[in-house]
Structure 1
Amino acid sequence: MPANRVSISRRAAALGALALAGSLLTAAPAHAGGGNGTPSGAPTAAATPKNDGAKGICKRLPKTEARITKALERLNGDATVVGSVARLQQRAGEAKAAGHAEIETYLNNRLTARKALVTNLQARQADLKAVGTWCAAHGEGTGK
């Protein structure tokens, strides 16, 4: 008889789980719209940001400017500077002279990306000047 009791309790647990799952499935459509009476696509007050992060951006501005300036100095360096565009051009030229076509292709593709990075960083640097002006006008960020 003990085996029979285990079997009954297992059946009861299975039926309880099935009933719970059924009740959750029938309740799910009521909560699908957000549960607060607003359509599911409409933003709620809790979903909107409290600020745009201007204070943090202004606070980090000096460090961000320094990083971009340092990167541009490296990229615009001469052929002796590791990571510069000139050094990569020199390496691509040496690969071409040595007859390593695959290496030359690889280095030229990196060179294209690196030149694009210079353009991107210059645009960011210009944007940061405008941000710095805005931060100063609004008294945001101490840079510390």
Structure 2
Amino acid sequence: MSVNPTVNRRAAAALGAIAVAGSLFAAVPAQAADGTGSPSAAPSAAPSARQTPKGDGAKGICKRLPKTEERVAKALDRLNGDATVVGSIARLQQRVTDAKTAGHTPIATYLNDRLTARRSLLTTLQTRQSDLKAVATWCAANNQGSTK
């Protein structure tokens, strides 16, 4: 008697599919029993992301303060640069002027909207820089945020 290998593979695949379907059907009543329709988990195993903060994060803010001040200063230098500095307000203003001169109205409108956003970013970063000066003073007076 000869055995056809194709039939054996098909039979094995069918048995595998039945086994998977059976395990899925067996899990449904267990999930439905708790009324949630999802696998039950112990309430005490809540992820740490759901816990309330234990403080204001002053220690971490004080620790990152030098890098933060450096990034803000670098961004302000770039924004306040002349037309040769990539990312500066002056360079974007020049691009808007060039687009208007060339008659590319949609491009000029798009660039002008970016210019408006960049100018508001300048104001935001200037405010942040002054806030960081106050934070630096506080960190120095409070042991880098280690005291409570």
Structure 1 and Structure 2 fold alike (TM over 0.5): yes
For structure 1, which runs of at least 5 residues remain unmatched after alignment?
none
How far apart are residue 108 of structure 1 and its match? 1.0
SS of residue in 2 equivalent to 1:20:
helix
- 2:26 counterpart residue number: 23
TM-score by length of 2: 0.64
Distance 1:108 1:9 in 2: 66
State the aligned residue count.
136
Structure 2 portions without partners, runs of 5+: none
Q: Distance in 1 between matches of 2:74 and 2:12?
A: 71
Q: 1:110-138 CA deviation, whole Å, 9 max, x = no partner?
A: 21121121122123223323432343343
Q: What does residue range 3-18 of structure 1 map to in structure 2 within 5 Å?
A: 16-18=19-21
- % of aligned pairs identical? 52
Greater relative contact order: 1 or 2 (C-alpha under 8 angstroms, separation 6 or more)? 1
CA distance in structure 1 between the aligned counterparts of 2:12 and 2:39, rounded to whole angstroms: 38
Once superposed, which parts of structure 1, at least 4 consecutive aligned residues long, lie more than 6 Å away?
Answer: 6-12
Please give the root-mean-square deviation of Cα atoms over the aligned residues, in Å: 3.6
| Correspondent of 2:135 among 131, 137, 140 | 131
Mapping 1:93-132, distance limit 5 Å: 93-132=97-136
**TM-score, normalising length from structure 1?**
0.66
Question: How much has 1:68 moved relative to structure 2?
Answer: 0.6
